[in-house]
Structure 1
Amino acid sequence: MGKLNIFAISLNNPQGVYYPGQVLEGHVTVELNGEMKMRASGQGGDNPSLPAGRYTYPFRYQLPAGLPSSFEGSVGRIRYCLSGIIDKPWKFDHTTKRAFTVVNLLDLNTELGAMEGARGENEKTLCCLCCKSGPISCRFQIDRCGYVPGESIPIKAEIINHSNRRMTRSYAELYMVVKYHATRKSRTNFQKIGEISHGEILPGDSDSWNGDLLRIPPVPPSKLQGCRIIEIEYFVKLCVNPSGPAFQLEVPLRLIIGSIPLRSTLQQYGFAPPPQGPDPSQLYEGGAQASAQYSMPPPSYAESVFGTVDIKDDADTKYTKGDMNYAPVYTYYNWEQTAQASAPPQ
C-alpha cells in the first residue's frame, strides 16, 4: 500500500445532477498514511510536504448557463467531470475524477406540436415470382407527440392483411436518431430504446392496437439544446413483418421527449400544474419543496437506458483514482406509482 489511502471528490448533491447555471459544491478528501512531498501554495520551503492524516478541501463552482445535457453516444459525447490533482515534484502526479450529470431542461409546454396528435398510414403489395397478392395496410396514430421519460405512449393502430401471406408479427418500436455534425461531414446513428409487439396476422385477417402502452425509458431530451454538433430526435414506428422474402411495412411518427411534462398531463394524474411563467425550470430547480407548493411530483432521476461507460481517457494513468464507471441520469416519472402515492387515504 502506498502513502495515499484516499483521494476522492464528493458532491454535496448525492445524485450528482445539476442544471445549467446552478452552483456545484463539494469537497476533496485526501488521506495519507505517511508524509508525502507535493507542490502547493502556502506550504513554504523548498520541499513542501503534507504530513500523514486526513484532509478535506471544499470547493464551489458556478456552472455556466446554457450547458447542453450530458450525453454518451457511440460517435460523440457530452461529458462533465471534476478532477483533483496532487502535484508531486519529479514524479507522476496523482489524479482523481468524479463525473456528474447536467440536465438542460426541455419544457414540453413551450414546444410547438407537443400537445397535438399524429397519424400516418402505409400499404404494401407483396409479390412472389410472377404472382401478386392483395396489399397489407396499416393505420397508426398517437394522441399527442410530447412525452417525458417514464410516461407510456398509447399505441393505436389497425392492420389489414389482404395478402395471401401470413404476417409473422406487428410491433411498435421507439428509437432515437442522433446526428453528429463535423466541419464537412455528418453521421447519423439509429438506436432502438423500446419495443412492444403483437402476434401473427393470417391472410385475410386484421389486427387492432387499442392503446397498448409503450414506456419511454430514461433518455436525454430531444434536440440536445445548447449543443451545435449533436442533434437528437425520437420516433415511434409501427412495423408489420411478412413471412418469406419481403421488406416490412413501416409507419413512423415523430416524438418530442422533454424534461418538464405538459400541464395537461399533470392534470390528468391529479396534480396541479406549475404556474405560467417565463422560466418553469426554476420550479424544478427548487426540488421537492417547490413542487409540493403546487401539489405536483418533484423531479426524480434514473440512470440512462444505455447503461454505464468507462470514462477513463488517454490522460489517465495507474495513479488516477475515482469511479471510472459512469452513466448519466435523466428526469424520469413513474406516473402511476406517483399518483397512487399522492392519493389521500380512503
Structure 2
Amino acid sequence: MDQQRRENLIQRKKIWVWIKFKGVAKTEWTNTSYNSTSGATETKYHVQREDYLKKTVVLFGTGKFDRDIDNLSIPPGTNNYPFELPVPDDPLQPKSFQGIYGYIRYTAKATLSVRRMHINTETKTVRPFSMMGPAVDLSIIPGIQNSVKTKVTQYGCCGCGTMVERVITIGVPRRGYFSNDAIYVIGQIDNRDGEEEIYFDTTLVQRISFSCGRHTRTKEYNLSRASKSVSCPRGWVTDFTVGPLHTLISPPSGLPGCDLIDVEYYVKCIGCKFTKAIPVIIGTMPVRGEAPVLTAESSVPADVIALRPASVPAPITQDSNYSSEESETGECDRLLKSSPQDYDLDGAPPGRHIIR
C-alpha cells in the first residue's frame, strides 16, 4: 500500500473489515436424450446444493448490516487482526472434496469497506481453504477387525458337472483400514482336480455416488492394483496372499456430514471364472491397541502370516452340489452391478507381479 493510500485511509472515518466463511456442497450434471416424437434433443439439468459453514467474523469496525461507528480509522503501516473461528458441530462440516459431478468447498472472503459522504467502496478477496471433516474412528465400528471372506466352488464340465474341481476362498483379514494404509488379499485354494496355475487380479475401487433428488450419478476409480499367479498341485491346499493395495490419501467411507455425496470402497477380485467384490471401510483413525499398522513398506503383516500355513495335502473327495458362499452377499452383488457408462477398469490385467 503506497503512501498516498495510507494518508487517504487515515482521513476516512468509516472503515470496516470482516471475513465471511462459507462451506457448501453442490452436485450438478446434465442428461441429454433424443425425443423421437419431436425429433429434438432434450437436455435436463440436475442441480442440488447443501450449505454448512456460514459465519462472519468482524476484524475492524462493525458488520455490513450493523450500526455504524463514527471516527474509525486504520493507522498507517501493516496492521494485524488476529481472530479464531470455532468449527461448529451442528451441522457437521464434511471433508473438502472435489469430484466430476459435485464438490464440497470452503472459502473465506475478506472485505474492506470504506464509506464516504458521496461514494462507498468495497475491496474483496476470496481464498479457498480445506476442512479436515469429522473423524471416522475405526475403533468404535463393531466388527471392524473381523475378516471378510467369500467362497467359490467350481465344478467340472464348464460348471455343469457334479464333481468339484476346486474350492477357492478369498477375502481380506479385516474390514477396516485408514488413509495411507495397505490392504492384503488372502485366500486358499483347495484343488481337487482342476488347473494347477491360477491367476488372481485384485483392485481397490473407490465408488462415489452423487445425488440430486431422486437421481444419482456414480463414478468409480481404481486406486491400486496387484496381481499374482498361484500354483496349487492337484490334491493339495495352498494359501496365498496378493498385495499390497495402497489406500493412499483418500476421503473416508461415507463422507460424514454430506447427504449429497457418498464414498464407498471395495476390493474387486478376479480369478479363474469368477469375480467377487469385498466391501471395506476406510477411516481416518486406526484401531487402537490392536493389530500392527500396515504400511507401504511392510512385508506381509503378522495377522496375515498367521493365516498362511504351508501347503498340505488334501483328500480328494466329492463335494455336495454347492456353488458359492459369501459373507456379504447382498453388498457384493450391489457393488458389482453394471456401472454407468463412465465406468472404466484399467484395460487388460497387468503382468504377473505386484503393481505399485
Tell me the TM-score normalized by structure 1: 0.52
What CA distance in whole angstroms lies between the structure 1 residues aligned with 2:270 and 2:7? 65
What CA distance in whole angstroms lies between the structure 1 residues aligned with 2:124 and 2:8? 10
Structure 1 vs Structure 2 CA RMSD = 4.3
User: Does the 8 Å contact 2:264/2:281 carry over to 1?
Assistant: yes
Alignment map for 1:20-39 (pairs within 5 Å): 31=1, 35=5
Q: Give identity over the alignment, percent.
A: 22
Shift of 1:222: 0.9
Unaligned residue ranges in structure 1 (runs of 5+):
1-30, 129-133, 243-248, 271-346
**Residues 1:68 and 2:94 are matched in the alignment:** yes
Q: Structure 1 residues 53 and 208 mapped into 2: Cα distance closer, same or farther (>3 Å)?
A: same
1:117-142: CA deviation from partner (whole Å, max 9, x where unpaired): 110134679999xxxxx988743121
What CA distance in whole angstroms lies between the structure 2 residues aligned with 1:68 and 1:189? 19
**Residues 1:234 and 2:277 are matched in the alignment:** no
Match of 2:255 among 221, 224, 231: 224
Unaligned residue ranges in structure 2 (runs of 5+):
16-73, 159-163, 294-356
**Residues 1:108 and 2:134 are matched in the alignment:** no
What CA distance in whole angstroms lies between the structure 1 residues aligned with 2:167 and 2:7? 75
Alignment map for 1:122-141 (pairs within 5 Å): 122=152, 138-141=168-171
User: Does the 8 Å contact 2:155/2:165 carry over to 1?
Assistant: yes
Helix, strand or coil at the partner of 1:228: coil
Alignment map for 1:68-217 (pairs within 5 Å): 68-87=94-113, 93-122=123-152, 138-158=168-188, 169-199=199-229, 209-210=240-241, 212-217=243-248
Q: For residue 213 of structure 1, what is the amino acid of its counterpart?
A: P
Helix, strand or coil at the partner of 2:254: helix
What CA distance in whole angstroms lies between the structure 1 residues aligned with 2:224 and 2:268? 11
Q: For residue 43 of structure 1, what is the amino acid of its counterpart?
A: K
Helix, strand or coil at the partner of 1:61: coil
What CA distance in whole angstroms lies between the structure 2 residues aligned with 1:113 and 1:191? 26
Q: Structure 1 residues 126 and 87 mapped into 2: Cα distance closer, same or farther (>3 Å)?
A: farther
User: Does the 8 Å contact 1:175/1:192 carry over to 2?
Assistant: yes
Helix, strand or coil at the partner of 1:102: coil
Aligned residue in 2 for 1:43? 13
Match of 2:78 among 54, 60, 78: 54
What CA distance in whole angstroms lies between the structure 1 residues aligned with 2:8 and 2:222? 49
Q: Structure 1 residues 165 and 97 mapped into 2: Cα distance closer, same or farther (>3 Å)?
A: same
User: Does the 8 Å contact 1:32/1:51 carry over to 2?
Assistant: no
Aligned residue in 2 for 1:331? none
Aligned residue in 2 for 1:294? none
What CA distance in whole angstroms lies between the structure 1 residues aligned with 2:231 and 2:177? 30
User: Does the 8 Å contact 2:112/2:122 carry over to 1?
Assistant: no
- How many residue pairs are counted as aligned between the two chains? 223
User: Does the 8 Å contact 1:138/1:251 carry over to 2?
Assistant: no
Q: Structure 1 residues 108 and 200 mapped into 2: Cα distance closer, same or farther (>3 Å)?
A: closer
User: Does the 8 Å contact 2:165/2:194 carry over to 1?
Assistant: no
What CA distance in whole angstroms lies between the structure 1 residues aligned with 2:172 and 2:250? 20
Shift of 1:102: 2.4
